[in-house]
Amino acid sequence: MPYTTIAQLSQGLKNGTFSSRELTQDVIADIKARDHLYNSFITLSEEQALAQADVADQRIAAGEAAPMTGVPIAHKDLFCTQGVRTTAASKILENFVPPYNSTVSQLFVDAGAVSVGKTNLDEFAMGSSNEHSFFGTVKNPWKLDAVPGGSSGGSAAAVAAGLITGATGTDTGGSIRQPAAFCNLTGIKPTYGRVSRFGIIAYASSLDQAGPMTRTAEDAAMMMNVMAQFDPQDSTSMQMATPDYTTSLNDSLAGLKIGLPKEFFEAGLNPQVAAATMNAIKQYEAMGAELVDISLPNLQLCIPAYYVIAPSEASSNLSRYDGARYGYRCQDPVDLMDMYCRTRAEGFGEEVKNRIMVGTYALSEGFYDAYYLKAQRIRRLIKNDFVKAFQQVDVIMGPVTPSPAFDIGSKTSDPVAMYLEDIYTLAINLAGIPALSTPAGFVDGLPVGLHIMGDYFSEAKLLNVAHQLQQATDWHMQTPNSI
């Protein structure tokens, strides 16, 4: 059933228009028939999905269904799923089958959702294009020789192609919002600590945050209602009540103050993307919002700060993959050191090895103060810029990316150009604030995303603001020609 929404499927299941088993069978058949075009899935969990669908049908028949009960979803292949392999798109975890669920995975099980499989990504979430996967490049449904964005490109492509109505992603420096922009989706990165990280394979622990990727803000709100729960197993999880994110979607935007950072509209931004972004922002003026010019003076420092902090944390997190306990192990090691070295050399891809080396260097004796400590001080300056800005405005808006989706292979030889794709998204993770991407038009037939940023724990407001734009426009309803 391509291009229905989670809300529509939920209503159809409630009304008895179709059963969860029928829906799940249809979704799995569609993935088998069409995903060769996109390579968006790594693993299909057909048997488990049908069993979950049968349980969901029983709950619906008993009148015990929640809004997500019986709805098929997919998980980015960083979320541990009990009995279903979880690879992080890496050779080193190619055959790893977790004995437990991540908290997010379990919350969706408890809500009665049906997990049909695991989606492709940049290896260990390190990338902005989904070209760095052991299981091959993911293709953008809007243009099959273009990237879908990364690292949650598999989730983005699967939803954009209508293979699934909603999928989880993770965002360390823009990895939900950038692929959402490239694929015409709604993707939200919640406040750091709003969604549990327990059981999600770590890249950079102080930056990683999970969130939903859907067609509409309403669907994203429905998934957030499931995901955003306090978790005592995660020491960074915030102990606070979860609001119903769907109840405020239709709140008026009259009097809303929208901050426009001058740094988001300077050199480097594609003029057509700038025009599309401003056209979307002007829609809010018609709804009674006020535009306010602001400045984020330390924005230009976010790329060097991020590419010290994130690789440093990755260097630490990925030290556990040594061939001794689980995952890939090299053949016939001579001794323990040979096993460590060859296992990691053979098991990790080039981008992962590059980032481990950068991080190890930054944390080494004699360089910690010069690089890592200084980057953390810059991070505080960036956070302070946002704190100051939100004393003046309710939300901040700008482009998600400097350009629309670029062609596969066009930036793999220039890592700096690839890193600059995240210029507008990295600061949000460094500050820990929430942000989302919502469809904002097209440039040469490719989607453009509007970046909406909010103060801490303002996810409900961001979803409300995105939903109101979607009520006034039809960009989010447009579909790619490849389906």
Q: Which of 114, 133, 126 is nearest to 56 (CA)?
A: 114
**Phi and psi torsions of 48, nearest 5°:** -65, -40
Q: Which of 219, 204, 227, 200 is nearest to 76 (CA)?
A: 200
- Active-site residue 316, yes or no? no
Instruction: Indicate which residue of 76, 118, 139, 189 is catalytic.
Output: 76
Q: Which of 308, 342, 306, 307 is nearest to 322 (CA)?
A: 342
Q: Which of 159, 129, 177 is nearest to 408 (CA)?
A: 129
Instruction: Indicate which residue of 20, 128, 151, 155 is catalytic.
Output: 151
Three-state SS for 422?
helix
What contacts 289, CB < 8 A, 6 or more positions away? 253, 254, 255, 256, 257, 258
Neighbours of 58 (CB within 10 A): 14
Question: What type of residue sits at position 209?
Answer: Q
Q: Which two tokens stand for residue 93?
A: 């975890």
Query: How many CA atoms lie less than 13 Å away from 409 in the CB half-sphere?
Result: 3
DSSP state of 369: I
- Active-site residue 76, yes or no? yes
What is d(CA 69, CA 258) in angstroms, rounded to the nearest whole number? 36
What contacts 254, CB < 8 A, 6 or more positions away? 287, 288, 289
Instruction: Indicate which residue of 115, 152, 175, 437 is catalytic.
Output: 175
Quick check: bond before 128 cis, omega within 30?
no
- Active-site residue 143, yes or no? no
Q: Where are the beta strands (DSSP E) in 158-197?
A: 166-171, 186-189
What is d(CA 215, CA 228) in angstroms, rounded to the nearest whole number? 19
What contacts 459, CB < 8 A, 6 or more positions away? 188, 190, 191, 194, 224, 228, 245, 434
Strand partners, 442: 447
Supply the residues annotated as catalytic: 76, 151, 175
